[in-house]
Chains A and B, each alone.
Chain A
Amino acid sequence: MRFTPILAALALSASAAAAQDAITVAIQLEPPNLDPTAGAAGAIDSVLYSNVYEGLTRFASDGSIIPGLAREWEISEDGLTYTFHLHEGVTFHDGSAMDAEDVKFSLDRARAEDSTNAQKGLFAPIESVEVVDPLTVKVTLSAPTGNFLFNMAWGDAVIVAPESADNLANMPVGTGAFKFDNWVQGDRIELSRNPEYWGEPAKLARATFKFIADPTAAFAAVMAEDVDAFVGFPAPENLPQFEADPRFQVLVGNTEGETILAMNNKLPPFDNVKVREAVAHAIDRQAIIDGAMFGVGTPIGTHFAPHNPAYVDLTDLSQFDPELSKKLLAEAGFADGFETTLKLPPPSYARRGGEIIASQLRAVGIDAKIENQEWAQWLENTFKGKDFGLTIVSHTEPMDIGIYANPDYYFQYGKPEFVALMDKLNATTDPEARTALLQDAQRMIAEDYVNAYLFELAIPTIAKTDLKGLWLDQPTQAVDLTGVSWGQ
């Protein structure tokens, strides 16, 4: 018995010494490749954003835009010319220098005719990129674009070098505080500290990302302490158990994922605003959050992230009120209800949420036939083919209210007044004026009941108690380890 404390102390100090400068982080999905400039898979950014690749600007953990490779910038009066001043002495992981030529190359590559950048639209306003001197780049836009600096912070806008650009999918070369070491496909990606980093060096010497898709396996890996943190833990039903365990801390952060019940605005009867309003009032958001997400998630009343300072709480416009819903349906000529389809992609928010929504809709007389789809199928039929009445999806791109200006987007809104509002927003750089316009936009889509707005998708992270500096919210899909360290 007397040995026990000594043994325990030994064990503790051994594990502390071993764990001090290395970390193993698990995420659910493995990136298909390691090139964020040529693929939409969020897992690419999860592993590499800010860790390995950097852009001119970057997202801070609170969603604000801070300088990245560009130390500072000037914007011309007319909002058309951005002059970026780059940090001095920045090198890529292969040792070559990062300068204005690389910035020009990266931006030109992303907007080129044969570009396979998944967010090519971010670069559409760029008219020309000009190298002024090795540390200065002038970007000229064809029209004022108020969120240009925001666009340049996306993972798809990172700066890469012409020498390594063709091989990024398997051999990522960036400028970040970690460099890529090894990828055992199907199992893990290993990063190590970049000793030549231009900025504040990473506190961790080594970082390993593991990919564990199965919720049961995820639970086992955390409990067995195979991993130090699990970002985006897939089994919210287990969170209370981790909260009660002194070995772990549970962080529940917001993402940019507005989870909506999308309606096909051009397909009768959803072309009638009264029907859309009826659908919105038929839905009890809290029941969905409790039932499908185990209580994790913030209700929203419009297509905007609640942690954003410009957010307006419009949930009152679509209060749960089945009687009002039935009345509206009767006014629209559907006193006996109607039949429609509800297409559900694979994530649990859609599959579990869909069951609850279908039963809530049935209570007001709408018979929504559930059809489960795989992602590829959903993209092809529902998203591209617009063959749906209702569907549930989480829009995880940051600040994506602009999708409502596109009449061809799958829910087919694109009201001219809204398009005008977005044009005005793009032409405005003054922060206060932009906030006012963003709030008008939120109100317009909420009052038009374009979609039924459910909740902001939360991301639960489980980490060892003494792990510090992990992102709580996810302004972009990223597991930024540059500020992470072990402490008491």
Chain B
Amino acid sequence: MLRYALKRALSLAISLIVASVVIFLVIEVAPGDPASFMLGVNARPDTVAALRSELGLDVSKFERYINWITGMARGDFGTSYAYRSPVRDMIAERMWVSLPLAFYALTLSTLIAFPAGIYAASRRGGAGDTAVMAATQLGVAIPNFWFAMISVLIFAINLRWFSAGGFPGWDKGLWTGMKALTLPAVALALPQAAILARVMRSSLLDMLGEDFIRTARAKGLTRRQTLWRHALRNALIPVLTIIGLQFSFLLAGAIIIEQVFFLPGLGRLVFQSISARDLIVVESVVMLLVFAVITVNFIVDLAYAAVDPRLRART
């Protein structure tokens, strides 16, 4: 087990280094100098040069890469060119919107998907199953920003139950914060719930066809009892994998929803930073997300191996 863990850790480290080089090169290669962008069309060359040296842009690309990566390793993400404040603080502040939003959406999608999936599986072929499947088909097909715009139209403009967007901050109270995140979370959750419900249903149906279910039924359990006691538990494994994937998508992929609801989240920070050529912010956020995804995979690998000894033997 230890050897396996070390091997996975080595591959984690190599993935991170390769990712950092790719991120740095791709972002630095795009044209546009941050200093001249910030100073605009009337700036004099000597002013641009002064700003470049102030921002640490006048050293070689290699040196900048080393500075960036060693700083990151120490937890120092550098200083944003445009905002002139520490990137770490900026990311931390945005996390307070993005993480709760992702959790909120994930909770909603799970709360919708589980009952829907279980219901559909237990009524296989019936009218209820058909209705759930049709609804999820629609949910998968309709993009989340369309849900977002329609919900703004109904709940913010016509009914005035929610504001059209923005985030007042957690210091205004938990309820106020949750309320501001509700429409975005629903918009994010609906398509995810549709996917999850379908996975839940088919995974359950797979399980219901297994031998051990037949054995359980032969023991005298009702259909309902076998579903809840035996099938559901085993069906959860693929569902949990999907939930894990959805979480990283919700964290990194909420850019459009954050734009529609003008939320100060991570996605909007990346968006603003890209258009402002605030390279160091873009690099750091992307690197952080890569780090999160790779680390989650690493943990999942270890967890699988702990559960299933066959995985260890194979490597």
Contacts and interface: CB of A to CB of B under 8 A. Distances in A.
Given A169-B84, A187-B262, A381-B31, A217 B44 contact: no
Nearest to B268: A186
Given A211-B262, A213-B259, A374 B51 contact: no
B257 to A, nearest CB: 11
Contacts of A338: none
Interface string B129-149: 000000000000000000001
B53 to A, nearest CB: 8
A212 B165 CA distance: 9
Given A30-B272, A33-B82, A383-B41, A376 B33 contact: yes
A228 to B, nearest CB: 13
Nearest to B265: A186
Interface stretch (A96-104, A111-119, A349-357, A446-454): A111-119
B216 interface: no
Contacts of B94: 185-186
Interface stretch (B150-158, B200-208, B234-242, B304-312): B150-158
A266 interface: no
A224 B164 contact: yes
B58 interface: no
Majority secondary structure, A binding face: loop
B261 interface: yes
A114 B51 CA distance: 8
B167 A187 contact: yes
A376 B265 contact: no
A388 to B, nearest CB: 14
Contacts of A212: 165, 262
A224 B159 CA distance: 9
B264 interface: yes
A32 B33 contact: no
Contacts of B160: 224
Given A115-B50, A217-B260, A220-B165, A40 B90 contact: no
B163 A214 contact: no
Interface string B43-85: 1101100110010000000000000000000000000001111
Contact of B43 (A40, A210, A221, A224): A40
A380 B93 contact: no
B9 interface: no
A216 interface: yes
Contacts of A116: 39, 47, 50-51, 54
B42 A40 contact: yes
B276 interface: yes
B269 interface: yes
A214 B271 CA distance: 12
A397 B42 contact: yes
A118 B39 CA distance: 5
A118 B36 CA distance: 9
B50 A216 contact: no
Contacts of A376: 30-34, 37, 275-277
| Range of interface residues on B (Cβ < 8 Å) | 35 or more
Contacts of A169: 83-85
A460 to B, nearest CB: 19
A181 B54 CA distance: 27
A115 B261 contact: no
Contacts of B263: 186-187
A214 B262 contact: yes
A384 B38 contact: no
Contact of A217 (B32, B83, B262): B262
A221 B39 contact: no
Contacts of B276: 32, 376
Which of A169, A185, A186 is most buried by chain B, counting CB atoms within 10 A of its CB? A186
Interface string A171-196: 00000000000001111100000000
A121 to B, nearest CB: 6
Given A118-B39, A376-B32, A221 B47 contact: no
Interface in B245-282: 259-265, 268-269, 272, 275-278
Nearest to B51: A116
A221 B263 CA distance: 12
Nearest to A42: B40
B115 interface: no
A229 B233 CA distance: 54
Interface string A455-474: 00000000000000000000
A185 B50 contact: no
B38 A40 contact: yes
B209 to A, nearest CB: 47
Contacts of A346: 275
Interface in A389-412: 397
Contacts of B260: 214, 216-217
Nearest to A210: B166
B166 A188 contact: yes
B247 to A, nearest CB: 22
B38 A39 contact: yes
A121 B54 CA distance: 20
A417 to B, nearest CB: 23
Given A188-B166, A217-B260, A223-B164, A379 B37 contact: yes
Contacts of B38: 32, 39-41, 118
A375 interface: yes
Contact of A380 (B31, B51, B167, B264): B31
Contacts of A185: 83, 90, 93-94, 264, 269
A216 B275 CA distance: 19
A49 B49 CA distance: 26
A226 interface: yes
Given A184-B169, A226-B165, A375 B275 contact: yes
22 contacts: A32-B38, A33-B82, A33-B84, A35-B84, A38-B51, A118-B39, A118-B40, A169-B85, A170-B83, A185-B269, A186-B263, A186-B264, A210-B166, A212-B262, A213-B259, A217-B164, A220-B164, A223-B157, A226-B163, A226-B164, A376-B31, A380-B36
Nearest 8 interchain pairs by C-beta: A376-B32, A40-B40, A186-B264, A32-B82, A220-B164, A169-B84, A187-B264, A224-B164
Given A38-B51, A226-B156, 17 more contacts: A32-B38, A32-B82, A113-B46, A115-B47, A115-B50, A119-B42, A120-B43, A121-B42, A169-B83, A184-B169, A187-B166, A217-B259, A220-B157, A220-B165, A376-B275, A377-B30, A380-B31
